[in-house]
Amino acid sequence: MAAVKVFCYAISTASIRVILCLEEVGAEYERVNIDMATGEHKSPAHVAKNPFGQVPAFQDGDLVLFESRAIGRYVLRKFKASDVDLLHGSSLEESAMVDVWLEVEAQQYDKAIFPIYYQAMIIPCFYGGTTDEKVVEENLVKLAKVLDVYEARLSQTKYLAGDFFSFADLSHYPVTHFSITIPQVAALFDARPHVKAWWESLESRPASKKVAAKIPQLS
Amino acid sequence: MAAVKLFAPVMSTAATRVVLCLEEVGAEYERVDIDLATGEHKSPAHLARNPFGQVPAFQDGDLVLFESRAIGRYVLRKFKSSDVDLLHGSSLEESAMVNVWLEVEAQQYDKAIFPIFFQVMVIPNIFHGVSDEKVIGENLEKLGRVLDVYEARLSQTKYLAGDFFSFADLSHYPITHFAIKFPQVAPLFEARPHVKAWWKSLESRPAVKKVAAKLPQLS
């Protein structure tokens, strides 16, 4: 069976989401670098795979996918094993809880933390521009409220979907890996012991450590 | 079997997403109104169902869910039958395409059309404020580019995930039902024949007509 291919960029949080899934299930994969610095993501060859001109894209034989959360679902389902099941697809109720907290990641968490990460890290480091501190402040307030909900949830269950680790937890890793280095963000996590412990358990997973070691620093 | 319950006001676009799923599968359900005007969505009773204090929330026996896209997946999976299968869960590849275009709805389409809907409909009518024309203009441009991708896709396949109708198509209905009536938005659909035909096919579904008839009129 040919290895699957991920068309990705080293600091792309969405690309990292897919790589983490592949590492968790132990699938063979090939990374094809799409150089965003030179606009390769807008090339006809890449747009043929991701019509929105974004990364990542993914290929398994004739099947071409895009949108990292959809790619992740595919990888986690195809390569599911008795010891690695991050969707709990065989249980209607458990998979529903995974779906709920996957939606929370996309609709609540990412919408608050991504603008902070983008302003504080991408704009200065990638574009040489100036951080909009107003955007950062507004979203820190939003993120704090989201993390209050997480603190309450993680006081009840070990992980977000229940007492089992799932894609819902994993999906938070990429943007948080970068954002936790921002002092105001770290402070929000430090003030919430269950959230902090949950984050540390994500960081300590072998797959996370392996993937993190290859993510370049944003300077 | 007791009917499932949906906690939300009629005008909630997210609630309509769930109602559409329930109507498509023909499930028995009960609607419980949540009065946003009196802040009922922030009451302890509702926060116990949706910790973000939003609508909808959903209950099936002991199982309580929130986030309309997750609830929709649960409903479509639980009540799936030989003639109504909107997730194509038994096919790895087809369900992957459904997941791709569900992500596109949430990550590309909604992010462009929701700010327009919020400025044109919610701010004047609910908050008695003034629309921000700059936000509307920026997002109309984004929406145009998103719909260009849809036009190209729908020139290749009858529906978004393939030649079969799926949750990916249905998920677009609630907000578009209102936004298509805005003079700024209608031309974007008119100018793209495959998108226009796709929208008309959504509108003509019996479940959609039934749900649309109960939605409030724009003033």
pLDDT tens digits for range B57-105 = 999 999 999 999 999 999 999 999 989 999 999 999 999 999 999 999 9
pLDDT tens digits for range A163-179 = 999 999 999 999 999 99
Average pLDDT, chain B: 96
Which burial class, exposed, middle or buried, applies to B29 when counting CB atoms under 10 A from its CB (0-12, 13-18, 19+)?
middle
Residue A27 distance to chain B (closest CA, Å): 16
Residue A79 distance to chain B (closest CA, Å): 11
* Encoded amino acid at A214, one letter: K
**Residue B219: pLDDT over 60:** no
pLDDT tens digits for range B147-199 = 999 999 999 999 999 999 999 999 999 999 999 999 999 999 999 999 999 99
Helix pair angle (A193-203, A133-154), 10° resolution: 90
Instruction: Please provide the DSSP assignment of B54-123 as one string.
Output: -S-EEEETTEEEESHHHHHHHHHHHT--SS--SS-TT-HHHHHHHHHHHHHIIIIIHHHHHHHHIIIIIH
pLDDT tens digits for range B100-125 = 999 999 999 999 999 999 999 999 99
Picking from B42, B76, B99 by the largest number of A CB atoms within 10 A of its own CB, the best residue to mutate is B99
Residue B76 distance to chain A (closest CA, Å): 11
Query: Which of the four pLDDT bands, split at 50, 70 and 90, describes residue A86?
Result: very high
How far is the C-alpha of B3 from the C-alpha of B78, rounded, in Å? 13
First to last CA, chain B: 40
How far is the C-alpha of A64 from the C-alpha of B29, rounded, in Å? 38
Picking from A49, A107, A147, A154 by the largest number of B CB atoms within 10 A of its own CB, the best residue to mutate is A107
pLDDT tens digits for range A31-48 = 999 999 999 999 999 999
**Residue A205: pLDDT over 70:** yes
Q: What is the pLDDT of residue B126?
A: 87
Q: Does the model's ipTM exceed the 0.95 cut? A: yes
CA–CA distances in Å: residue A207 to residues A4, A11, A55, A81, A108: 18, 17, 21, 16, 25
CB pairs under 8 A between A and B: 69
- Per CB-CB distance under 8 Å, the chain B contacts of A108 are 52
